[in-house]
């Protein structure tokens, strides 16, 4: 027996956008027993499996084209205008669970596009949220993951800068400063969700308090990769797991203190399950 003392980070787990989407899905599944969802409702396989047992069916954009007369959930990441147009053509009822923070950002980008501004978006190529943002500009905005992707000498003298909502605030302002230092006039729009970005600071403090950190996240979660690195930088004995099956007893010593934390897409029930497992080791 290891006799581990285990604590879960109270700030970890679903952000309000994900809570909102899952509650909408559960309400319909409880009433009707089936619902389509465009893309993974959340980047966590264990949570997706739980909802699939309730009757959720994950479909992709290709499958959406041939779907008719059905209810389809739009997840928290949001969608481009083309998805809404397709829904009208195919008589689909969209249950729109787009995160309010994402919707506000989409509107701001659309306004900038209507004013014919040069729009640059700091975000992950191909990420669902970014695809929705690009759609507001007829795919004309420039998306970059790193400032090194941009040729600063060829950039317009004036640009409008936005960010995917889950990016690091520090990195965003670093990029903003570099652009200005290179003589570019930047109209900066800080559109990063503070519920997500504040987790950086909270996790730094949390990771230092324990002998071992078990970071729980789905492998598809961008936010999970970023937050896991933050924990690992503070505590080298940080281990990434997606389910109980990934936990290894050789990570722990007798009477050690273990902290469990996770991404904005990690369900609390999964962290509780892992806590119970560790307490039995």
Catalytic annotation, residues:
129
**Token representation of residue 66:** 């041939």
Kindly tell me the sign of the dihedral angle through the C-alpha atoms of 60, 62, 63, 66.
positive
Strands (E), 79-196: 93-96, 119-122, 142-144, 158-163, 185-188
Q: What distances in angstroms separate CA 150 from CA 178, 189, 207, 235, one per listed residue?
A: 11, 18, 34, 34
Q: How far is CA 187 from CA 103, 116, 129, 158, 177, in A?
A: 20, 13, 21, 8, 12
244-281 burial code (b ≥16 CB/10 A, e <16)? eeebeeebbeeebebbbbbbbbbbeebbeebbeebeee
């Amino acid at each position: 027996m290891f006799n581990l003392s285990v604590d879960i980070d109270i700030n970890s787990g679903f952000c309000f956008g994900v809570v909102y989407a899952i509650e909408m899905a559960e309400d319909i599944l409880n009433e009707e027993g089936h619902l389509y969802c465009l893309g993974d409702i959340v980047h966590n396989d264990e949570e997706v499996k739980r909802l699939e047992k309730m009757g959720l069916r994950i479909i992709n954009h290709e499958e959406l084209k041939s779907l008719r007369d059905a209810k389809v959930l739009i997840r928290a990441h949001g969608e481009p205008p083309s998805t809404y147009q397709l829904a009208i053509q195919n008589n689909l009822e969209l249950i729109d669970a787009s995160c309010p923070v994402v919707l506000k950002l989409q509107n701001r980008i659309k306004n900038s596009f209507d004013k014919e501004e040069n729009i640059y978006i700091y975000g992950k190529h191909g990420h669902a949220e970014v695809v929705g943002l690009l759609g507001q500009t007829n795919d004309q905005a420039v998306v970059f993951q790193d400032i090194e992707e941009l040729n600063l000498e060829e950039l317009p003298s004036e640009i409008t800068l936005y960010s995917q909502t889950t990016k690091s605030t520090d990195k965003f302002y670093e990029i903003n400063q570099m652009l200005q230092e290179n003589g570019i006039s930047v109209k900066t729009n800080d559109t990063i969700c503070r519920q997500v970005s504040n987790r950086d600071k909270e996790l730094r403090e949390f990771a230092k308090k324990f002998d071992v950190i078990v970071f729980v996240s789905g492998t598809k979660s961008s936010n999970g990769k970023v937050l896991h690195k933050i924990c690992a930088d503070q505590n080298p004995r940080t281990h990434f797991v997606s389910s109980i099956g990934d936990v290894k007893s050789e990570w722990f010593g007798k009477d050690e203190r273990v902290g469990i934390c996770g991404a904005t897409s990690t369900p609390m029930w999964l962290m509780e399950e892992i806590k119970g497992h560790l307490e039995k080791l």
